[in-house]
Amino acid sequence: MGSVGIIGGSGLTRLKNLQVVGRRVVRTPFGEASGPLTFGRLGGQEVFFLARHGYGHTIPPHRVNYRANIWALHHVGVTHVIAVAAVGGIAQRMATGALCIPDQLIDYTHGRPGTFFEGGESMVAHIDFSEPYCANLRARLLAGVAAAGELAVDGGTYAATQGPRLETAAEIRRIEGDGGDIVGMTGAPEAVLAREIGLCYAPLSLVVNPAAGKSAEPITLEAIEAVMHDGMARVRHVLEATVPL
């Protein structure tokens, strides 16, 4: 198999345990990725890491160049992508601090360049997206969770919203009615593009707050950051226990 790509979301702009060998700027037909790819070894496996929001966390979810990011990872020989993301919890089992490996996706985003198939030279392709995530990589992640002595919710529906604002309570009620269990702003079109280009892609989500209307408390950045700090340390352990695949 090829290399592993890890896309870090909020709270994970660096992989402390990655033995960094170098950085690589990849030119893509879609413009600039969120930054250079950091590559090195993790558990003996070649890993390419990319901070989704930029290494200085300056790119908001609706401005991330998802096409460039996915294209760049594919271009350097990555075959498997673990997509780390902080999310809000909707379903009761998605408590703050929980890890989750979702198995379904609903896309509520709009206006984001969301396909590699733009007509013209490229063929029109209607990919099968019934199961949006790679079953093999999900299983590896679940094994990694167990090996790290952690617990994670196996399955659930990730709802991708446009952001950058958080949702209204009514929007969350609607999403819950639709079957959404967790809510984040970056899961689409990232997963779509990965499937289009042939990458095995799976999400690793950390619940950092109760979604809008799910708690009497207001959602504050301070509270989110407190959860993120510990939570992303646990995510790092899971990644270490998952890689090499």
| Binding footprint of ligand HPA on the chain (CB under 6 A) | 86-88, 161, 166-167, 183-185, 208-209, 211
Based on CB atoms, which residue is closest to ligand HPA, 3 or 161? 161
How long a stretch of residues is the chain? 245
> Least distance (Å) from ligand HPA to the CB of residue 94?
11
Based on CB atoms, which residue is closest to ligand HPA, 17 or 162? 162
Backbone angle region of 58, left / alpha / beta, with phi > 0 → left and psi within -120 to 50 → alpha: alpha
Question: Using CB atoms, what's the residue nearest to ligand HPA?
Answer: 88
How far is it, in rounded angstroms, from Cα 148 to Cα 188? 28
Based on CB atoms, which residue is closest to ligand HPA, 81 or 208? 208
Backbone angle region of 136, left / alpha / beta, with phi > 0 → left and psi within -120 to 50 → alpha: alpha
Based on CB atoms, which residue is closest to ligand HPA, 19 or 58? 58
What is each CA distance from 94 to 51, 141, 191, 224, in whole angstroms? 24, 18, 21, 15
> Least distance (Å) from ligand HPA to the CB of residue 211?
5
> Least distance (Å) from ligand HPA to the CB of residue 158?
10
From the list 75, 47, 83, the residue with the least C-alpha distance to 206 is: 83
> Least distance (Å) from ligand HPA to the CB of residue 87?
5
> Least distance (Å) from ligand HPA to the CB of residue 161?
5
Based on CB atoms, which residue is closest to ligand HPA, 113 or 163? 163
Phi, psi of 51 (to 5 degrees): -85, 115
165: tokens are 């604002």
